[in-house]
């Protein structure tokens, strides 16, 4: 499995954990009766806090992932070749982690898919308003669709890395 595929899996998992945490937190609060119906301030605060947590968690997870990956490459190289040459290991890590034209193209294709899901979520939110659901429902549909979009983006990336990509 390549570095890019592993990175996609890590971002999918962090996205799933964040979405699950948001659902558990909000459903828990709702079941305990701590949420006043139609309290937009509570939902806006919760979503903003979770966006903040998500950004920080993503950065931390990516740093930990890169450290772990570098260690695993260094260990496997040392075990395979028998010697521990720092420059060779550094070179192997750099070659694995370089971002090139194929990565950029796959990134663009997956981003397009993610934005399409988020866009459908936005339309869904507007439809919910037309159908007389509260603004809270719309807010949640939009937030969840953005989160699901970013998770699916990771799956699309893995799909293209496995299947390949041809122009035209």
Partner 1 sequence: MAKKYIITNNIRTLRFFANEMTQQDLAEKAGVSRQTIIAVEAGKYSPSLELAFRIADVFGVSIGEVFTCEVKVEEGKKQ
* CB nearer partner 1, residue 104 or residue 112: 104
Radius of gyration of the chain (CA): 20
| Interatomic CA distance for residues 107 and 115, integer angstroms | 12
Residue appearing with tokens 């919910």: 128
Q: Which of residues 4-63 bind partner 1 (CB under 8 A)?
A: 4
Which of 37, 79, 87, 98 contacts partner 1 by CB under 8 A? 98
* CB nearer partner 1, residue 102 or residue 135: 102
Mention every residue, 6+ apart, whose C-beta is less than 8 A from residue 57: 14, 17, 18
Least distance in Å: CB of 149 to partner 1?
Answer: 25
Question: Which has the closest alpha carbon to 111: 168, 80, 157?
Answer: 157
* CB nearer partner 1, residue 1 or residue 60: 1
Q: Which of residues 57-96 bind partner 1 (CB under 8 A)?
A: 91-92, 95-96
Question: Which has the closest alpha carbon to 124: 109, 106, 147, 143?
Answer: 143
Assess 116 for contact with partner 1 (CB under 8 A). no
**C-alpha angle 119-102-107 in degrees, rounded to nearest 5:** 20
* CB nearer partner 1, residue 48 or residue 105: 105
Which of 99, 123, 126, 129 contacts partner 1 by CB under 8 A? 99
Residue numbers of the site for partner 1 (CB under 8 A)? 2-4, 91-92, 95-103, 161, 163-167
């Amino acid at each position: 499995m390549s570095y890019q595929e592993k990175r996609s899996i890590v971002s999918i998992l962090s996205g799933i954990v964040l979405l699950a945490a948001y659902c558990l937190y909000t459903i828990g609060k709702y079941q305990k009766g701590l949420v006043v119906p139609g309290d937009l301030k509570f939902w806006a605060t919760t979503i903003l806090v979770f966006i903040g947590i998500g950004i920080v968690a993503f950065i931390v997870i990516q740093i930990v992932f890169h450290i772990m990956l570098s260690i695993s490459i260094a260990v496997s190289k040392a075990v395979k070749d028998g010697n521990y040459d720092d420059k060779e290991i550094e070179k192997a890590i750099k070659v694995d982690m370089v971002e090139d034209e194929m990565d950029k193209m796959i990134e663009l294709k997956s981003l397009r898919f993610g934005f399409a899901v988020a866009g459908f979520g936005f339309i869904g939110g507007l439809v919910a308003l037309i159908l007389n659901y509260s603004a809270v429902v719309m807010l949640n549909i939009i937030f969840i669709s953005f989160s699901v979009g970013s998770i699916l983006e990771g799956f699309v990336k893995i799909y293209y890395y496995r299947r390949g990509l041809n122009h035209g």
